[in-house]
Structure 1
Amino acid sequence: MDARFGSVDECLGQIGVLARDQHGCRFLQRKFDDEGEDAVNKCYDEIIAEVVDLMMDPFGNYLVQKLLECCNDEQRTGILKAGDGVPELVSVALNTHGTRAVQKLVETLRTPEHIRLATEALKPGVVTLIKDLNGNHVIQRCLQRLEAEDNQFVYDAAKACSVEIATHRHGCCVLQRCVDHAADSQRRALVNEIAAQALVLSQDPFGNYVVQYILDLGLPWANAEVMVRLGGAYAELSMQKFSSNVVEKCLKLAGQELEEHRNVVVREIMSSPLLDRLLMDPYGNYVVQSTLTVTKGSLHAELVERIRPHLPLIKNSPFGKRILRLLLESKKN
């Protein structure tokens, strides 16, 4: 293709065809780099005429990305308004090749008007995008590159659909990035919503990671809210694969202000009629081990006394041996 065309002028009239060809696409990209504005201006009208399709083409998407790097603000406005606008950009963002072009579009937004056009176009499909293999990268790019207030459309959706998003393979990761990039007011609203849903989320294969992420932030008010929401269910949660990790994290939280909340968790576990099952459970036994590790004084002594009657039952089980070792260590201390 390079041998057939020496200049952009010779390509005019078939830019769309060349853009879809591996060698033609590379030739045009190189011309944009070498000749800059002149080459861009000559090709722009032909590219914009089919820019939506080109964004989703295996090779054409690279030419659109290069155009976004090189074009002026007026031309970028044209790209944002191309096709049918709102539904088009979401569809492109969901496409394997289109997601790259839309991410580049987000990276190159320069004016308040461009940002408004892009965010309004993405807003109707934001939850779909967050949960999509390709689309989630577009939302993450918005979080990385735009100001927090420009991403309010993402935070509104994340708060309104927190459980739907947090319990999704891709959504749980995006939700964590939302927390990372939020302004203070956005973070507080989102964290508060996640904490309020802690009981449901803790038991989910993906949602539990979101709750643990919130606990790791070290916000005493958020940690206290999570622990209160899980109250009354700690024994049952301790015997489930995903939620047992959340319970352990609650027990290991540092800070004097959370000590009373932690003690409530310990008392609930040691007073539970399920204690004997917890001691034998492949997940629950780790929670009991954590209670023995984090308690001290009279509460620890009371916990040991609660466990003692169950020792004959557990002494021959692999889990029980760990508990016995901890009891012996606490007796020495």
Structure 2
Amino acid sequence: MKDAFGNYVVQKIFEIGAETQRHELRQIIQTEFMELSMHKYGCRVLQAVFEKSAVHQQIFIITLVFPDDFVELSKNDNGNHVMQQLFRCEPLNVKDYLFDKVKNDIFELSLDPYGSHVIQYILANGSPTHRSEIFKCISRNADKLLKLIQDCYGNYVIQHAVQYCAQTDKDNLMWFIVEGVTALAQDKYASNVVERTLKYAAPDMKKQALRIICNQRPDMDAYANFVVQKLVVDSEDVVMLAYLYRRIRPNLGEIRRHTGGRNIIDKLEQKLRHA
């Protein structure tokens, strides 16, 4: 199971072997679940076994994990894939059981290189209740929310929240991002969150973001220029676009020397030309 090539043989045996052979494999898994879960090749066998097992057998596999081990599993470079596979078990009460074991560590997992993948998976595939619980955790404190937005792993969790959480939940989050667009757009990771927010934002949010950008003009920044380009392309507010153009016109020569600035000018002029 832990061999680079042998693990494929074990997977194949489980796929086409007799039920007695599959039963023997499950017995081995019972005694070595955590060790296999955190192994580069062993985790592949576990995922294959779980995927090809009946629901009652999947539930039995889940019961092999000690309650305190789910967070450790989520934060492991191999174990997080097993954890995501466990969340594919269909009965909602099983998903509730799994979620209950990690819900007190959502913020910590969101900042973890591997735990963040588990939280992203739940946001994308979990129940509305689970999404709402995650949202409450990541948004209840402004400082912690900002930390996630600007984190190299946490920003992906926020992007998933913007995309998958209920509109009633995420409106306040999106307004928080829009109101801080100037600083966030110039941050390497937060700028990705801003772009995702603008993709799902209501027209009034986009208009407010453009209004703030017009007053601050972060157009030559390595990251912010992509945000400004998206605002320009998506905006139908010709008056605001014309105002932005007037704001940057005195510095056209300087701005055009930067690729990002040049792209903004080109998109602005094209938009205004066809207005």
Task: Please indicate, yes or no, whether the TM-score normalized by the shorter chain is above 0.5.
Answer: yes
Does 2:219 match 1:279?
yes
CA pair 250-183 structure 1, distance change in 2 beyond 3 A: closer
Paired positions, count: 265
Contact 1:155 1:190 in 2 (8 A): no
Letter paired with 2:195:
E
Q: Which residue of 2 aligns with 1:294?
A: 234
CA pair 238-215 structure 1, distance change in 2 beyond 3 A: same
Q: Which residue of 2 aligns with 1:95?
A: 39
Contact 1:195 1:222 in 2 (8 A): no
Q: Distance in 1 between matches of 2:126 and 2:264?
A: 42
Q: Distance in 2 between matches of 1:69 and 1:176?
A: 37
Q: Which residue of 1 aligns with 2:249?
A: 308
Does 2:161 match 1:214?
yes
Deviation of the 1:130 alpha carbon: 1.4
Partner of residue 92 from structure 2, selected from 130, 148, 153: 148
Matched residue SS, 2:219: helix
Normalised TM-score (structure 2): 0.76
Partner of residue 330 from structure 1, selected from 248, 271, 274: 271
Q: Distance in 2 between matches of 1:291 and 1:270?
A: 11
Deviation of the 1:174 alpha carbon: 2.3
Between 165-174 and 234-243, the greater mean CA deviation after superposition: 165-174
Contact 1:279 1:285 in 2 (8 A): yes
Partner of residue 204 from structure 1, selected from 151, 161, 165: 151
Letter paired with 2:147:
V
CA deviation profile, 1:109-135 (whole Å, cap 9, x unmatched): 6549x7267336243111221121221
Partner of residue 320 from structure 1, selected from 261, 264, 272: 261
Q: Could you tell me the percent identity over the aligned residues? A: 25
Deviation of the 1:71 alpha carbon: 4.6
Q: Which residue of 2 aligns with 1:178?
A: 122
Deviation of the 1:150 alpha carbon: 0.5
Q: Distance in 1 between matches of 2:165 and 2:48?
A: 35
Normalised TM-score (structure 1): 0.64
Greater than 6 Å deviation, 4+ residue runs = none
CA RMSD of aligned residues (A): 3.7
Rg larger for: 1
Gaps of 5+ in 2: none
Does 2:65 match 1:121?
yes
